[in-house]
């Protein structure tokens, strides 16, 4: 069985814009430790300190209410509040500083019955498979492991990669009959977006090796911005946390 307490997910929520967390998402991750990042992107001319003075109490009240919803679902949840000029940079740094294995980018999720896991070779494969297994534990959600090859010569390698991922899922408690494997030949971004349309949540892994290169400035960013599904971005294990943590629990 997957050990859920080994995993933590960052959930950024722009509460001042009225963004909420779909109930389906809350119940799906209820057993995973969650950090709700209440953020708001501010103009360059506005300082975070000024925004905190003006909007901090409102954000805190919204966060407290959202925290109560997660706790009612049985979730181990903490909250952070931040005002930022670059939300993607903040998401990345917060995920590292708060020891989160993944960042869940919210989109509407009226149902949550199937996950599409985009596997890009063996990069970050073990981290992806272990967190997906933890996400799936206690649910009836099916998972499709999806790999894109650029030519037929690489298909067999893709099949082996997906078998490795499937074996890790099974090892961590996912029933084999819930796992589908798909290898296609296409352009990766387009193929992933097309397949995501038939699923309810997309899982992708980051590939940048340094916190100085923001995780969303690669294929993960392009996909996350173009899909209508919620997206779980799983970070690489070897990223190191910054020396200081800016966002504090309040």
Angle in degrees, 0-180, between the axes of helices 188-196 and 219-226, rounded to the nearest 10: 30
Q: Is the pLDDT of residue 239 over 60?
A: no
What total number of domains does the chain contain?
A: 2
pLDDT, averaged across the chain: 82
pLDDT band at 241 (very low <50, low <70, confident <90, very high): very low
Mean pLDDT of 237-245: 42
- Encoding tokens for residue 107? 């989109």
Indicate if 125 and 229 belong to the same structural domain.
Answer: yes
pLDDT digit string, tens, across residues 9-37: 999 999 898 888 888 889 888 888 999 99
Residues 6 or more apart whose Cβ sits within 8 Å of residue 18 = none
Give residue 117's pLDDT: 94
Assigned domain for 131 exists:
yes
Give residue 1's pLDDT: 40
Indicate if 97 and 124 belong to the same structural domain.
Answer: no
Assigned domain for 247 exists:
no
- Encoding tokens for residue 224? 């996350």
Q: What is the pTM of this model?
A: 0.81
Indicate if 173 and 82 belong to the same structural domain.
Answer: no
Instruction: Give me the CATH number covering residue 67.
Output: 3.40.50.620
Give residue 41's pLDDT: 92
Domain span at residue 214 reads 114-234
Mean pLDDT of 106-123: 82
Indicate if 122 and 230 belong to the same structural domain.
Answer: yes
Indicate if 26 and 62 belong to the same structural domain.
Answer: yes
- Single out the residue in 61, 81, 105 at which a domain terminates: 105
Q: How far apart are CA 213 and CA 134, in angstroms?
A: 27
Indicate if 135 and 44 belong to the same structural domain.
Answer: no
Q: How far apart are CA 157 and CA 201, in angstroms?
A: 25
Assigned domain for 244 exists:
no
Phi (first) and psi of residue 58, to 5 degrees: -65, -45
pLDDT band at 228 (very low <50, low <70, confident <90, very high): low
Indicate if 94 and 185 belong to the same structural domain.
Answer: no
Give residue 217's pLDDT: 47
In this structure, the dihedral spanned by the alpha carbons of residues 113, 218, 157 and 201, taken in order and rounded to 10 degrees, is: 0
Which is nearest to 59 in space by CA: 27, 76, 28, 36?
36
- Encoding tokens for residue 46? 């506005």
Q: Which residues pair with 203 in a beta bridge?
A: 117, 232
């Amino acid at each position: 069985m997957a050990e859920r307490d080994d995993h933590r997910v960052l959930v950024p929520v722009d509460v001042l814009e009225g963004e909420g967390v779909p109930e389906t998402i809350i119940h799906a991750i209820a057993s995973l430790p969650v950090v709700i990042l209440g953020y708001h992107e501010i103009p360059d001319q506005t300082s975070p300190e000024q925004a905190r003075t003006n909007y901090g109490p409102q954000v805190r009240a919204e966060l407290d209410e959202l925290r109560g919803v997660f706790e009612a679902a049985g979730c181990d949840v903490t909250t952070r509040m931040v005002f930022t000029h670059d939300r993607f940079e903040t998401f990345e740094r917060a995920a590292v500083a708060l020891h989160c294995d993944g960042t869940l980018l919210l989109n509407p999720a009226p149902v949550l019955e199937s996950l599409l896991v985009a596997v890009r070779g063996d990069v970050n494969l073990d981290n992806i498979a272990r967190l997906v297994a933890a996400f799936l534990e206690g649910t009836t959600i099916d998972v499709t492991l999806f790999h894109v090859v650029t030519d037929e010569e690489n298909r067999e390698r893709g099949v082996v990669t997906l078998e490795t991922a499937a074996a890790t899922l099974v090892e961590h408690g996912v029933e084999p009959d819930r796992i589908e494997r798909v290898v296609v030949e296409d352009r990766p971004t387009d193929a992933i977006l097309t397949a995501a349309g038939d699923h309810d949540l997309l899982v992708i892994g980051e590939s940048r090796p340094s916190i100085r290169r923001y995780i969303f400035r690669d294929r993960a960013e392009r996909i996350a911005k173009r899909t209508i599904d919620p997206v779980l971005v799983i970070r690489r294990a070897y990223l190191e946390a910054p020396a200081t943590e800016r966002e504090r629990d309040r």
